[in-house]
Amino acid sequence: MKVYLSFLLLLCCTLTAHAQLEQGTWLVGGSGSFSKIQNDNNTSNTTIYTNPRIGYFVADKLSTGVQAIYSYQINRFGGRGLNDHSLLFGAFARYFLLNKEQPLNLVSELGYYYGYYGSDGVYNIVNSGKHSYISLAIGPTFFINSAIGIESTISYLFNSAQNNGLHLTIGINVYLFN
């Protein structure tokens, strides 16, 4: 019975929660991922990705801020391998499309990122340089209470090196009241 009442209370709190998408609110959060793929033909791929962010709501439902993107990838082919890494910094603008009182909202985002990449590995060949991205993203955000939102976005990335593509992320954000 206690479990049932606890679940019912949590459900009621969740359903009545609303987002703090008002002017003057701080946004702190980000996303991250880890994957490891091992194939039968003695190859493997390990990827670490992290994306912290901080922003400020300059108007209701509109936030701007800065974020960093770091990725590290290890590819192994037999006894040899290739390591890729990149570090980008940038700015974003996010706008929530639905009513700010709803526990489920739709976020859109435009971002610009600039940074460095590097590769090393087979025969100690080193490749490095600078690159930039423009990102357009959209996805749902579910507010589990008035301060925490869990989101999933799909982004289209325009890269200065012509490596355009889709990117799916799942993240969590904390909304700090003014």
Confidence of residue 19 (pLDDT cuts 50, 70, 90): low
Averaged pLDDT for residues 103-117:
93
Give this prediction's pTM: 0.77
Q: What is the pLDDT of residues 36-93, one digit of tens each?
A: 887 777 777 788 889 999 999 999 999 999 999 898 888 877 767 778 888 999 999 9
**Domain residue limits at 58:** 2-176
Q: What is the pLDDT of residues 25-37, one digit of tens each?
A: 999 999 888 888 8
Can you spell out the DSSP letters for the chain? -HHHHHHHHHHHHHHH-----STT-EEEEEEEEEEEEE-TTSEEEEEEEEEEEEEEEEETTEEEEEEEEEEEEEEEETTEEEEEEEEEEEEEEEEE-S-TTSSEEEEEEEEEEEEEEEEEEGGG--EEEEEEEEEEEEEEEEESSSSEEEEEEEEEEEETTS--EEEEEEEEEEEE--
| pLDDT given for residue 163 in this prediction | 66
Give the CATH number, domain containing residue 10.
2.40.160.20
| pLDDT given for residue 92 in this prediction | 97
The number of domains in the chain is 1
